[in-house]
């Protein structure tokens, strides 16, 4: 055997052996986890429903799974649910693209100038420390009660997290890699597009993931303050008329939105970071 063959044989063994050992175990572990998780949800809903039906739990205060499903079915029938969902989804998507993607891009671009980055650092921290709730009413006054104000609120909720994550990701890129680029005679823009952007991508994605929740919270908060439609509108009108069915139906819709949106980001991650998913 030559050294190459030995090496190949060795790496072949290293690569396949642990996979063969761990894959069945980890997939079994995963299916056990998921089964238990589903069991917990089912048990919780069943206990709630049984308690409500038997009169141990006040449906006026706590509603019941059955009643929530009824409200969802009714609103689906009238088309109201789709209108609310559509309005909120639109606010979230546009706001997310502007805030989270725009913030990521800005954060990456800050790599170009350490001076600008250091100069803006305290301002970024200051803006990041403002609670959305505190400024949302002002946004409504500035931008009206329609789509624009909600988009601004959503974008504001996302921008700083994405910006700081992307900037940190850009800083974490191996400086030896940048030296290598320079040794090839690369321009700063080539170093940016070929080393910084892909190198920071896992940080950017992590920022996007965090922002899924923040974006939806932002939209709901905006709708709480002033709106004529949307899931937040559904919740706030429900609670003002003591219709807990409607409030909780709205909460279920919000949870579903976060779930679906999160899955979309996971898909994006699988595409952009496919080299890391082998």
Q: Which residues bind another protein (CB under 8 A)?
A: 2-4, 6-8, 10-11, 14-15, 174, 176-177, 179-186, 190, 194-195, 198-199, 201, 273, 275-276, 278
Q: Would you say 15 or 20 has its CB closer to another protein?
A: 15
Q: Would you say 77 or 277 has its CB closer to another protein?
A: 277
Cα gap 75→70, rounded to integer Å:
9
Residue 103 parent element (H or E): helix 102-109
- Strand runs labelled E in the chain: none
Minimal distance, residue 59 CB to another protein, in Å: 54
Minimal distance, residue 18 CB to another protein, in Å: 13
Token match 């601004």: residue? 152
Q: Would you say 6 or 255 has its CB closer to another protein?
A: 6
Minimal distance, residue 108 CB to another protein, in Å: 15
CA torsion sign for 131, 134, 137, 142 is negative
CA torsion sign for 237, 241, 247, 253 is negative
Minimal distance, residue 270 CB to another protein, in Å: 13
Q: Would you say 181 or 257 has its CB closer to another protein?
A: 181
Torsion (CA) 104, 216, 151, 230 in degrees, nearest 10: 160
């Amino acid at each position: 055997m030559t050294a190459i063959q030995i090496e190949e044989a060795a790496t072949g063994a290293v690569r396949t052996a642990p996979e063969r050992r761990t894959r069945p175990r980890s997939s079994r572990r995963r299916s056990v986890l998921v089964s238990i998780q589903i069991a917990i949800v089912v048990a919780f809903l069943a206990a709630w429903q049984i308690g409500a039906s038997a009169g141990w739990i006040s449906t006026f205060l706590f509603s019941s799974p059955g009643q929530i499903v009824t409200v969802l079915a009714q609103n689906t029938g009238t088309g109201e649910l789709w209108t609310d969902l559509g309005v909120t989804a639109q606010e979230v998507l546009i706001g997310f693209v502007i805030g989270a993607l725009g913030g990521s891009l800005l954060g990456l671009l800050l790599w170009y100038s350490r001076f600008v980055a250091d100069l803006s650092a305290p301002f970024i921290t200051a803006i990041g420390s403002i609670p959305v709730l505190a400024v949302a009413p002002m946004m409504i006054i500035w931008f009206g009660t329609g789509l624009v104000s909600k988009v601004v609120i959503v974008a504001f909720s996302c921008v700083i997290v994405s910006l700081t994550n992307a900037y940190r990701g850009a800083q974490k890129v191996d400086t030896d890699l940048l030296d290598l680029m320079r040794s090839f005679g690369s321009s700063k823009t080539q170093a940016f597009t070929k080393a910084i952007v892909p190198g920071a991508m896992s940080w950017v994605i992590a920022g996007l993931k965090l922002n899924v929740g923040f974006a939806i919270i932002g939209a709901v908060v905006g709708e709480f303050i002033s709106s004529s439609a949307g899931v937040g509108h559904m919740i706030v009108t429900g609670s003002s008329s003591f219709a807990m069915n409607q409030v909780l139906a709205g909460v279920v819709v919000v949870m579903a939105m976060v779930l679906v949106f999160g899955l979309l980001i996971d898909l994006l991650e699988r595409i952009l970071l496919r080299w890391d998913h082998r």
